[in-house]
Amino acid sequence: MNNGSSQIQVVLGLGSNLGDSRQIIFEAIIDLKEVLTKLRTASFYETKPLYVEDQNRFVNTAVAGYYTGSEDSLSAGKLLQSINRIEERFGRDRSRERRWGERLLDIDILLFGNLKIREAALEIPHPRLKERRFALQPLLELLPDASEPCTGLSYRSVCEALSDQGVTLLPERIENM
């Protein structure tokens, strides 16, 4: 019996600028293996804070994998709940942090198949993806031909049009798991 479930390709962005950021992200990626199959990881980048500058530099990366569900807002919402639980496990408390400020772990859904969602609690593709080199560069490592759902706008062309924004490739790399 087909229940409408399928494998949806998902790209998540991860960032941290408190504690041992590299280790936190590494451990979060291990946790994400319980949520996504065929997980692949991009390089790690050190990035200058983009919106609130009086804080530590961030470590950022992206992962791509497959989520079992339907390509709809209900499945995307379930993925978001799983991500929020992982963030909380690493001490994230959204009620105590400043917007775009310091954080132990931030995981954003950048892409969820070709889905476009505009809801109060969830926007996909991520609403600020096109202005963030720290999200686009690792995404393009994983999906070099990625484009915006609905419009077909090439994320590569968007990334190339941005300034460098203080994004630096880090030498260490996590082998795909």
Task: Specify the DSSP element, H or E, that contains 31.
Answer: helix 21-32
Is there a catalytic annotation at residue 22? no
Is there a catalytic annotation at residue 108? yes
Which residue is catalytic, options 22, 108, 145, 156?
108
- Separation of CA 145 from chain center: 17
DSSP assigned state of 99: T
Which residue is catalytic, options 20, 106, 118, 156?
106
Contacts of 82 (CB under 8 A, 6+ apart): 35
> Per the structure block, which two tokens stand in for 151?
């419009």
- Separation of CA 90 from chain center: 16
Which residue is catalytic, options 72, 103, 118, 145?
103
Contacts of 98 (CB under 8 A, 6+ apart): 52
Is there a catalytic annotation at residue 92? yes
Which residue is catalytic, options 92, 145, 156, 173?
92
Is there a catalytic annotation at residue 40? no
List, by residue number, the catalytic residues: 92, 103, 106, 108
